[in-house]
Amino acid sequence: MQAKDLMGNPDFVFDKERIAIFVDGCFWHGCPRCYRRPHSSRKYWDEKVRRNMARDKRVAAKLRRECWSVIRIWEHSLSEPKKEVARIKGKLAVRSK
């Protein structure tokens, strides 16, 4: 379930366990593995991606201060969903104790 009322609008939320999951697009969030700087309008895109990355850090820090666990999943990792599901299950197991 997506939480529109939680800062950053996580893509999925486990309220009881206080886990917020964000699925970040590799281009829009500056993936260190996949991001390719565009050839045109570089100044615009550099600033746009930098702002997105700074916002992601602010959001995660605020949620953690509010006792939320934050999981960020890169778009490219969705090609191996079992890994990400295992990661989420592990966090759920720890947080539901």
pTM value > 0.75 = yes
Where does the pLDDT of residue 1 fall: very low under 50, low under 70, confident under 90, or very high at 90 and above? low
Decide the pairing of beta strands 12-14 and 69-74: unpaired
Q: How confident is the model at residue 3 (pLDDT cuts 50, 70, 90)?
A: low
Domain 12-95, CATH among 3.40.50.1100, 3.40.960.10, 1.20.120.1200, 2.120.10.30: 3.40.960.10
Q: Which two tokens stand for residue 51?
A: 């702002």
**Angle (CA) 58 25 60, round 5°:** 20
Q: Where are the domains of the chain?
A: 12-95
Q: Is 75 left (phi over 0), alpha (psi -120 to 50) or beta?
A: alpha
Question: What was the pLDDT predicted at 96?
Answer: 82
Q: Which two tokens stand for residue 44?
A: 């615009």
Each residue's pLDDT tens digit, 9-57: 999 999 999 999 999 999 999 999 999 999 999 999 999 999 999 999 9
CA atoms of 54 and 56, how far apart (whole Å): 5
